[in-house]
Structure 1
Amino acid sequence: MTVPPGRLTGGHAVQMEWFGCPAMGPLARIGWWRSTRSARREHMPQREVRSWKAEHAVGAAAKRVKSTRHVHLAIRIPDPDRPRGSGEVDVIAITDRAVILLEVKNWGGDVHLQDNDLVQQRLLDKGEPPKPVIEKLRAKVRMLQRCSLSIDRVEMLEVLPIVVLANPKGNLSEEVLAHPEVSTVADLPAKIEALLATREPASDEEIARQDALLRRFGTWDVLTFDGGQRHTGDFIDADFPKGWTRADHSAVEIAVDGGFFSTLFRGPRLTVTFHRRDGSKVTEDMTPGLTVRHTQPWDDSGIDGEGTYPIEHVRKVLFGNEAKFRWEDVTPPSDGDNTETVDPLTAFEVGGTYTGTVVNHQGRKKDDFHGLLVALVERQVTGMVHISKMDGMSMDHIDMFYAVGKTIDVKILSIRGPKKIDLDFA
C-alpha cells in the first residue's frame, strides 16, 4: 500500500518522502527519527487509563471466584439483527454453572435507580436523559443466547448480567447496592458466588463449547504505542503487508533498531517479531516503507485520517481473533473432518423438531398479526408459525409466552427454501 506524501492530518502536513527510499539522505533520516519517536510516544488520556484499569480490575475480581474457568475481556457479541453489528461486553466470566456478562462503569458522584435502571445524578442535573445500562446488558445476554443457538444448535449455559460500578468515589444509593444485577468491584466475587449457589454444575464439554464460542467472536484489533496509547478498532486485512495474516499470527511487534546516531549514519532499521498462533516467534530485520490500516468507527485515525499507520509508528499489532466473524460463514456443526462449505439448510428436515428464536411478530406493527417468525440459524434459516397454529391465543398471551427473543421448540411441516419454512409448535 502506498501513502501519498504530504497528506494533511489535523492541519499538519505529513512528509512521507523517505518511505521506501533506499538512499535516504541525512536530513530525511533526522526527520524520520523525530517523527517516528514522536508517533511512538503517543500516550493514553487519563480518563481512558482509568477505564482500562477498571475493566482489568473487574476481570481480576472475576478470576478470584473459585468456580470461574475462563475470563474474557472486550468480547464483541454479534448482533443477530444486523449483518455486521456487534455489542461489546467489557468482561465475560465462564464459570462451572453459568456465564456472567459484566458491564463496567467507572462512574463518580451520586448513582441511583430510576425506572429500575442506573442513572447518574450529575447528568440529570444537566437535563440530559439517562441512557439504559442494565437493560442494554440484558439485550446482550439475549444476543449471546441467540448466537449460541444458531451456531452450536444448543442453548447456552444460563447467562447472567451484572453491572459493576468500579469507581471508589461513586456514591451509590442503598437501592443500587441491593440490586441483584449491580455490584462493586470489592463485592463482585461474593455476588457471583451467591448467584451460582443454587445452580447445578455444567459438564466440561458445555464449558469448553462456551469458551470456544467467545474465542470465535474475539475482541477488537489493537495498535499499541510505546507511550501507553491503545487504539481499538478493526484492521483492514486486505491492506496488510504480505504475510501478515491474522490466521497465522496473534501479534506483530515492531521495534526501532538503534538510536539517533545509528539512524543518522546507517539509515533507519526496524526489528519485527511475528508472534505465531502456535506459540513460536520469528524475527526479521526490515526497513521503513510498510503500512497497516486500522479504523475506528467513532473517530478518524492514522496519518491520513483513514486509518493508515507506518509500521514504525506503533509498538504492537494485536489481532482480536483468528478470523473475523461473519454470519454467512455459520454452518451446521459436524462430527466429521469435512471442512467444505455446507448449506445450513441441510441440517433441517421435514418432521424434525428443533429449537429456534422468535425474531419477529409478523404484521404486528400494522395490526395484522399473522404469525411468529422463528430463526433456526440467525440471518440464514427462518420459518413461520402461522397464527392458525395458536388456537386463538390473545396477543397478551403471545407477548407473555412467545415474546421476541424467546427460544421455542418447533416442528418443521414443510421446506420451500431457507426462509420459506412452515412451522408448528413441537
Structure 2
Amino acid sequence: MGTKLIAGQNAKLSDSQLTFRLIVGNSQGASLDASAILLATTGKVSADDDFIFFNQPQHSSGAVIQKDGSTFAIDLSKVPGHLERIAFVLTVVPGLSALTSGYRFELSGNSDHFDFSGQGAGRPEKSLIVCELYRRNSDWKVKVVDQGFAGGMAPLAEHFGVEVDSDSKQEPSPTPTPAPASSKPQDKPSINLSKVTLEKKGDTISLEKKSGTFGKIHVNLNWDQPTGASKKGLFSSFLGGNQSGIDLDLGCMVELKDGSKGIVQALGKNFGSLDRAPYIFLDGDDRTGSVNQGENLYINGRHWSDIKRVMIFAFIYEGVANWAQTNGRVSINAPDQPEVEIRMDASGKDQKFCVIAMLENRNGALSISKEVNYFGSHKPADDHYDFGFQWKAGSK
C-alpha cells in the first residue's frame, strides 16, 4: 500500500528506478500537457536537453523518458552530476479549475510507493509544479510542491530561470531561452515552448519564410486509445471504457501549382516522396496504437513554391467512429516557426473521415486553417473540397 503525501511533505527514496504517473479525472475537454525539467544546483535550467516534453520525450542521459503524455520513467542513477533536481509540471488550458475532480500523481518503484491528491476546482492557475525529486548529499528525496502559476507556462518558465520574450506579435505564446548562470559570455541553449492553437473552425495563421525556405515541415497526428486497448498520446489514461483500439490514419490530398494532384496515405500504400512530386512523405503506419509519437507526415518546404494546397485529413480505418473518444490532435512544425496545434474537437459521430486542416500557398507564405469537417468517407470530402479524384475501395 502506498504512502499518502500532503503538500509540502518530503520523503526519502529507496529505489533509483521509478515511474511517475499523473492521473486526472474529469478534465471537461481541457488541454493538458505534462513535462519534466531537470535543474542544476542553482535550481535553474542549464540546457535545452534538460526539458522533457512531447516534442523531446527523452533526456540525453536516459535519466528521464516520457513514456506517454502522463507517464515518465526515471533512472536516478543516470542523472548527471551537475543536475540535482527533477521537477514535474502540468499545464492546463483553460486552467486548473477545469479539473473538477482534481488531480493525482503516483511515484512508484520496487520498494517506493507514494501518491498525492491535489485540488483543481476553484483554482485560477494555468500551470503547476506538481512535485520535485531532489538530491540531498547522496540521497534522493521526493517533495510535493503543488505550486501554481496564474499566467500559465510563461511565469513557470521564468521561475526556472528562463528568459521569456513576449514582444513578438506573430507568436502569441512565448519563446523562452534559459538565462545564463553567470555574467561570463556563453552560448544560450534555447527551449522552444511556443505553440499557436487554432481554437475555432476557420481560424488561420500565416507563416512567412525566415531563411528563404520553410525547410522540412512536420505534421504529426496523435490520439488516445480507450482503456484496455493499446494507448498513445497525451494523457491517454484519462479515457474510460473497455473498447477495442482505434486505428486512426493520417493522410493528405495535395494539388501542385502545375495542376497535378495526388493523395498520400497508408491505404493503397501511397506513401509519397520528399524528393519528387508530390514532395510529401508519410512515415509508415501505426495500426497498433503502440507508437507514442503517433503518425507523421513530412512536407519538403524547399518545394513549397511548387505546391498550391495540402488538405490534411485523418480517417478511422478500424474501430468505432467516435471522434470525441480519440481526443485527436495534429501539430504542424516548421523550422524557426511556432508550433501550430489543431484539435479535432467538433462532433463527428458516425463519420469516419475528418478534414483537419488546409495548408495553402498564398504568395509564398504558408497559410494554415483549421477545418475539422467530418464526412462519411474520402469521396464526399473530395467533392466538398473539389480535388476531383476517382475513388474505389481499397485496403492496407
- On whether the aligned pair clears a TM of 0.5, the verdict is no
The TM-score with structure 2 as length reference comes to 0.22
Decide which structure has greater helix share: 1
Decide which structure has greater strand share: 2
